[in-house]
Amino acid sequence: MKRLTLMCVAACALLSPALAPAQDLVQTAGKNAKVVLDNADVRVIELNMPPGASTGMHEHKTDQLVVFLTGGTAKQTMADGKTKELTRKAGDIAWSEPVTHDTKNESKAAVRTLVIELKK
């Protein structure tokens, strides 16, 4: 019985990250993310991602705009494991619907962006 219980606990521990809901960007990106505005309409997050840094798997529950303050190259990994390469220039603006993903800065320099999450 002890062995069966131990196996169940081990299986739950291994599966729980896959079953857990994705976290918020500010939590997963840590010191690289800072909320600069949060009101009833929008939440604006400033990201400063050093070379090689990753946001961690996170979820955007609403539509958003991403304003690229600097250019760079990144690799996005979606919740299903699919990846895509992105190249952006300073001043580019991207629209995104709700999504769960991780973004890794593959540039040789830091990439700064503003993520504007729409609340309405």
Helix/strand/coil (H, E, C) string of 11-74?
Answer: HHHHHHHHHCCCECHHHHHHHHEEEEEECCCEEEEEEEECCCCECCCEEECCCEEEEECCCEEE
Alpha carbon distance 113, 12 (integer Å): 37
Domain chopping of the chain, boundaries? 23-118
Task: List the pLDDT tens digit at each of the 120 positions of the chain.
Answer: 555 444 444 444 444 444 456 799 999 999 999 999 999 999 999 999 999 999 999 999 999 999 999 999 999 999 999 999 999 999 999 999 999 999 999 999 999 999 999 998
Q: How far is CA 39 from the centre of its chain?
A: 21
pTM of the model: 0.80
Domain 23-118 sits in CATH at 2.60.120.10
Question: Is 79:102 a contact under the CB 8 Å cutoff?
Answer: no
